[in-house]
Amino acid sequence: MQIGQAIVLALGFNSDTNQLLWTFFTSLTLAVLAAYQAINFCFAFYRLVRAIVNQRNIETSSVDAVHLIKGTGWITGGLKLGAIETVIGFAQCTFGGALIRRILRLLSRAFIVIGVIKG
């Protein structure tokens, strides 16, 4: 028995299986993220439409009230761009594709920040 030697137990897959698992989990992650972003966009869009309809009803009636929309449109736009950016991730990525995804992600986050700041 020698001091300083360790026994290493390693489990793995062959390269074909490894590539197949990598592709499956990457696609699954993108699909779950795209679904999550689409659901959030639907909720935000519903709230935006409801606010616009309520504001229009308030304007046509003689009630002295207001329904503030403020940054809801910006947030909805940011969520939509985020969902589009995630769906583009399913395409084969070259340098241009990666650059487009990063630009859309930047714009998406900027829209969400503007919406939060506007209130």
What pLDDT score does 94 carry?
Answer: 86
* pLDDT tens sequence across 88-104: 888 877 888 889 999 99
Q: How far is CA 58 from CA 21, 48, 68, 72, in A?
A: 55, 15, 11, 18
Q: What's the whole-model pTM score?
A: 0.73
What pLDDT score does 19 carry?
Answer: 79
What pLDDT score does 10 carry?
Answer: 67
Q: How far is CA 15 from CA 12, 22, 27, 86, in A?
A: 9, 10, 18, 27
Per-run averaged pLDDT (10 residues), the chain, 119 residues? 68 71 86 92 93 86 78 93 89 86 94 93
What pLDDT score does 110 carry?
Answer: 97
Give CA–CA dist 34/90, Å, rounded.
10
What pLDDT score does 66 carry?
Answer: 74
List Cβ neighbours of 118 (8 Å cut-off, separation of 6 or more). 70, 71, 74
What pLDDT score does 9 carry?
Answer: 72
What pLDDT score does 7 carry?
Answer: 75
Give CA–CA dist 110/108, Å, rounded.
5
What pLDDT score does 3 carry?
Answer: 67
Domain boundaries, given as residue ranges, for the chain: 15-118
Asked whether 100 and 88 are in contact (CB, 8 A), the reply is: yes
